[in-house]
Amino acid sequence: MIPSARRRRHDPGTTRLYRSHARTTRSEPARPTRRVQSRWYGRPVSRGALVVGLQLLAAGGAAAACGGCGSTSRPPLNGPTPVATPTPTPTVPQWTVSGTLVSNPSTQPIAGAEIDTSTAVIRTDSAGRFSVTGTCNQTTMSVFISAPRYVGRVTTLQTGSNRDGVVIDLIANQPPFSMSFYNDLVRGVLDFGAPSPTRRWQQDPSFYVTTVDEFGAPVAQSLVDTAVSVIPDIVGDVTANRYRALRIDTGSSTTSPTVGTILIKFPAVGLSAAGDASGVGVNPCTVRVWQADVPSGIPQVVAHEIGHCLGLHHITVTGLPPTEAGLMGRAGPGSWTLPRLTDIEKFHAAILYSRPVGNTQPDVDPASWLFSMGHTVLESASRRIQ
Ligand SMILES: [Zn+2]
How many whole angstroms separate alpha carbon 270 and alpha carbon 275? 9
pLDDT given at position 139: 87
User: Which residue would you say has higher pLDDT here, 265 or 335?
Assistant: 265
User: Which residue would you say has higher pLDDT here, 22 or 279?
Assistant: 279
Are 6 and 293 within 8 A, CB to CB? yes
What's the gap in Å between 189 CA and the centre of ligand 1?
A: 14
Percent of the chain with pLDDT over 90: 56
Query: pLDDT tens, 326-348?
Result: 899 876 666 677 899 999 899 99
pLDDT given at position 297: 86
What's the gap in Å between 285 CA and the centre of ligand 1?
A: 14
pLDDT given at position 193: 94
Give the containing element (helix H, strand E) for 165.
Answer: strand 163-172
Average pLDDT over residues 218-242: 96
Are 295 and 283 within 8 A, CB to CB? no
What's the gap in Å between 17 CA and the centre of ligand 1?
A: 7
What's the gap in Å between 245 CA and the centre of ligand 1?
A: 21
pLDDT given at position 368: 83
What's the gap in Å between 305 CA and the centre of ligand 1?
A: 6
What's the gap in Å between 237 CA and the centre of ligand 1?
A: 16
pLDDT given at position 333: 62
What's the gap in Å between 341 CA and the centre of ligand 1?
A: 13
pLDDT given at position 177: 94
What's the gap in Å between 26 CA and the centre of ligand 1?
A: 17
How many whole angstroms separate alpha carbon 152 and alpha carbon 363? 7
Query: pLDDT tens, 64-87?
Result: 334 455 544 444 445 555 566 667
Query: pLDDT tens, 188-222?
Result: 999 999 999 999 999 999 999 999 999 999 999 99
Q: Which residue ranges form the domains of the chain, and what is each CATH number?
A: 4-28+193-353 (3.40.390.10), 31-66+92-174+359-386 (2.60.40.1120)
pLDDT given at position 202: 94
Residue 297 backbone phi and psi in degrees, to 5: -95, -10
SS3 139: coil
pLDDT given at position 48: 40
Average pLDDT over residues 255-259: 96
What's the gap in Å between 290 CA and the centre of ligand 1?
A: 14
What's the gap in Å between 44 CA and the centre of ligand 1?
A: 37
Q: DSSP letters of 80-94? A: ---SSSPPPPPPPPE
User: Which residue would you say has higher pLDDT here, 131 or 40?
Assistant: 131
- For 31, counting Cβ atoms within 10 Å of its Cβ (0-12 exposed, 13-18 middle, 19+ buried), the class is middle
Residue 167 backbone phi and psi in degrees, to 5: -120, 120
Give the containing element (helix H, strand E) for 320.
Answer: none
pLDDT given at position 274: 86
Assign 272 a pLDDT band (cuts: 50, 70, 90).
confident
pLDDT given at position 301: 92
What's the gap in Å between 247 CA and the centre of ligand 1?
A: 24
How many whole angstroms separate alpha carbon 84 and alpha carbon 71? 26
Whole-structure pTM value: 0.76
What's the gap in Å between 203 CA and the centre of ligand 1?
A: 22
pLDDT given at position 179: 93
pLDDT given at position 55: 35
Average pLDDT over residues 228-256: 97
Mean of all residue pLDDT scores within the chain: 78
What's the gap in Å between 187 CA and the centre of ligand 1?
A: 14
Query: pLDDT tens, 145-204?
Result: 999 999 999 999 988 889 888 999 999 999 999 999 999 999 999 999 999 999 999 999
What's the gap in Å between 29 CA and the centre of ligand 1?
A: 24
- Residue 322 preceded by cis peptide, ω within 30: yes
SS3 11: helix
What's the gap in Å between 315 CA and the centre of ligand 1?
A: 9
How many whole angstroms separate alpha carbon 250 and alpha carbon 46? 54
What's the gap in Å between 263 CA and the centre of ligand 1?
A: 16
pLDDT given at position 317: 64
What's the gap in Å between 335 CA and the centre of ligand 1?
A: 12
What's the gap in Å between 275 CA and the centre of ligand 1?
A: 8
pLDDT given at position 324: 53
What's the gap in Å between 109 CA and the centre of ligand 1?
A: 37
What's the gap in Å between 384 CA and the centre of ligand 1?
A: 28
